[in-house]
Chain A
Amino acid sequence: MQSFSEIDTTSKRASKAAGFSWGVAEEVGKNMRNLEMFGLPGVKNLNLYLKKIKKIPSEKLKKIEKKNKPQSKEFCPIYCGTAFLDNCKKLESLKLIKFFNVSYPLLLLPFLSRSSDIVGKKISVKYEKNNFLLNFDKTILSNNINNDKTISKAKEISIEFLENNNSFSTKEWKELYRLSEETFVEETESLKKKGAGAGLTDND
């Protein structure tokens, strides 16, 4: 088995060899380490993508807007991801962002996962019947974890910043809190005097 450090180094060097700058290649190395650690086939997708762009380079995007369509055939997931990561604080206000025709969309995920951590919000990603929930770069949840089919192009990718809302109702919270109160001790007059750190009056 390859270590994550080997995956990082080799992915970085391969990306540089395929034409990316060292700085972007460093991002790819870190991303492949993350994807593989999350159990997603990063190396497999990167290998296929780098072979593809040696023949036909993908399009580099100039600016991210609410809807992004490539001028030529396909967007590069690495350039899209780098731009998204660098602009994520600004993009958060757009809430829902769409990219059309992106090569090997899995390679975009780790950039979005890191953006989730920077912005402090979960991000939902959808493409080609795959749903992912990115949790602050700690985990990536997917509805399709056992599907090792490689998607070479996503016609449409939806990226949504999710608000930090509770996943439970107020009623459910109150019920749980009430149960937690059963670990507290009812205070007698004596305990009030002796058990507290502060004095009985704080006006002295």
Chain B
Amino acid sequence: MVMKLSRLGSFHQSKLSFLRSFIREFKSWNYKRNLFDLNKDGYGTAVYSFEKKGRNYSLVCFAQHIKPEERSDRVIATKWDSAFVLHDGTPSKKDINRLRKNVPKQEVGRVTYKELTLSRANKSVRAFDHVVNSLSEGKQPDKELLKKVGYLYRTTAVYGSGKFGLADRFRIKDRKEIYGPFRLEMMLVYLVRQFTFDQVNHISKCKNSKKAVMLDESIARNLGIGNSTGLGMAPFIVNHPTLLHNWIYCREKALKEIRSIKNVNENDFNIFKNCLDKSKKNIDTWLTNSQYQINKIDSLKTDLTKFFEHLENLNLKKNYYLWNLIYLWAEKNLQEECVEYIVSMMMEPYDSIIDPLINNMSSEEEKYFNIPADRKVFDLKKIIEKNYKSIIEIDFQDKNSTSNFWFISKNKEEPRVANRYEEHGAELEQPLAIARDIKKLYEKLTKNNQKETVANFLLNNDDLRHVVRRVFIVEKFPYSEIQDNTIDASLVPIDMLRLKLSFFGAVKFDPRSDKWLRINMYQGAPLPHEMKSSNDNWVYNSLN
């Protein structure tokens, strides 16, 4: 049930989330602002770094002037307020000059194997200008306005793993500090956040050196980095099955271990209640115009009220396996949105359960690429019957079941989804209609000689090779497959985005349509100079 899209699309950030594990890992590293060469308007170059035992990662920032009409969060934009790259080591002047020519161009520029992640961001003009104006007049900005926005800059893409010439993952995968997934992407976003604070302070000072004040750290701490995310992220979870498995498996393993605790310690239970209590304020500041999301938030609020009433009647001392009782009650009485919320909170007291899981959330995908083609058709059919039960029940003769198709747009090389029966291009469909192709494979296997090898079957059916590979993967990795039809008329693509973003640690999901949404990252996170003494519950401190 956990692999249903509606469930996956109800996930929330948790202790397993990558931006939280990034801070836990890098809190012992030395942070430094190495270069800050901006003009009075805040345009120029800056470098920030993390260093430990001779290893160094440097964020190189390029801020430039753009016209208001050039500012767009859409992937079709060609200019951004700032562009960023994470460089492996300390960049030389030559490196910075090379990067200056390429990084602001993003997709049409080229970087090298010495660079690890690449991104760009636009100002939230409303928040940015207000903060600069207030600070330059010697006042702190209006907290209410900032509460509504939540950040000064919004990133519109963060690239890694070999894109546009960036280092391939194999070059760096053995570094222990980056065992957790997306750790360098998380580092980039974290350092970008600090750049945005330094930039507003700098511009305000240049604007009015006598009166200007620095942005209050308690206000800065409650600002994150926004992100606009479109469909680019959705195919990722289909194209990386073993990685998806590891994420969900770690979450399920954590939940299982927590539910198996016989005597729940009072202190642990209080941590849970405290996080739950504090997080209520975050839900109240979760604003969106999307009716889809408003309904989800309303259901969460109503269910949480129910849950608090239930909690009051629970006696910690009288009940063994309290977490299990809570989970079973939640499953029976609450909607998915709230069940997942409670699951995230249940992880909070248990560093000893969560920490060992973090390093298992990456995947050596190459290891599972080869098809064990010496196995028999009978085996393949049995695996499908066991692992795709609901998929093989779908009627693909019904037009609604094949309503959508996924394609790559020619002008931006980004994934898109469209109606197969209304738009052109379905002949160039991407291999993301897994449910439909699994059903087709199953039907062919059923009519085939069961004793034949898969190798022989593939000689005549190579159009199904991509799903044969997946079936053998799912045999080993049961959480590697979304158990839903990703081309059905009822598909809500943002459920796929939310799954990934929740593992990133994003909050304040704000769908702008069924195909893209805005989120916030690092809201409430410690500032770099506070990292060493920070605790992991910072995510619940924002806006308190």
Contact = CB atoms under 8 A, between A and B. Distances in A.
Query: Do they bind each other?
Result: yes
B166 interface: yes
A23 B167 contact: no
B466 interface: yes
Given A83-B455, A86-B454, A114-B370, A3 B167 contact: yes
13 contacts: A1-B113, A4-B162, A5-B162, A6-B163, A6-B165, A20-B462, A23-B465, A23-B466, A62-B459, A63-B459, A86-B373, A87-B373, A90-B374
B469 interface: yes
Interface string A18-30: 0011111011001
A22 B430 CA distance: 8
Contacts of B161: 5
B458 interface: yes
A118 B370 CA distance: 9
B462 A3 contact: no
Nearest to A114: B370
Nearest to B112: A1
Contacts of B459: 62-63, 83, 86
Interface of B: 112-113, 161-170, 366, 369-371, 373-374, 408, 431, 453-455, 458-459, 462-469
A22 B466 CA distance: 6
B465 A3 contact: no
Contacts, number: 76
A89 interface: yes
Contacts of A26: 369, 465-466, 469
A21 B455 contact: no
A86 B466 contact: no
A82 interface: yes
Nearest to B166: A3
Given A27-B465, A85-B370, 9 more contacts: A2-B165, A4-B170, A5-B163, A20-B462, A21-B465, A82-B458, A82-B465, A90-B374, A90-B455
Contact of B462 (A23, A63, A85): A23
Nearest to A115: B370
Contacts of A114: 370
A24 B459 CA distance: 11
A62 B455 CA distance: 11
Nearest to B469: A23
Interface of A: 1-6, 13, 20-24, 26-27, 30, 62-63, 82-83, 85-87, 89-90, 114, 118
A66 B330 CA distance: 63
A23 B162 contact: no
A13 B408 CA distance: 10
A118 B369 CA distance: 12
A23 B370 CA distance: 11
Contacts of B170: 4
Nearest to B110: A1
Contacts of A24: 462, 465
A13 B410 CA distance: 12
A77 to B, nearest CB: 15
Nearest to A7: B162
A132 to B, nearest CB: 20
A21 B464 CA distance: 8
A114 B369 CA distance: 11
A87 B371 CA distance: 10
Contacts of B463: 21-23
Contacts of A86: 371, 373, 454-455, 458-459
Contacts of A85: 370, 373
A83 B459 CA distance: 7
Contact of B465 (A1, A6, A13, A22): A22
Contacts of A90: 374, 455
Contacts of B469: 23, 26
Contact of B163 (A3, A21, A27, A83): A3
A21 B462 contact: yes
B369 A6 contact: no
A62 B458 CA distance: 10
B168 A5 contact: yes
A23 B464 contact: yes
Contacts of A22: 431, 463, 465-466
A143 to B, nearest CB: 28
A191 to B, nearest CB: 39
Nearest to A27: B465
Nearest to A9: B162
Contacts of B464: 21, 23
| A-B residue pairs, 5 tightest by C-beta | A23-B465, A5-B162, A3-B162, A86-B373, A86-B455
B374 A89 contact: yes
A89 B375 CA distance: 11
A6 B455 contact: no
B303 to A, nearest CB: 42
Contact of B168 (A3, A23, A27, A82): A3
Contacts of A83: 455, 459
Contacts of A27: 465
Contacts of A4: 162, 168, 170
Contacts of B162: 3-6
A30 B462 contact: no
Most-contacted residue by chain A among B112, B168, B369, B469 (CB, 10 A): B168
A68 to B, nearest CB: 13
A193 B455 CA distance: 60
A6 B166 CA distance: 9
A114 B367 CA distance: 11
Contacts of B408: 13
Contacts of B468: 23
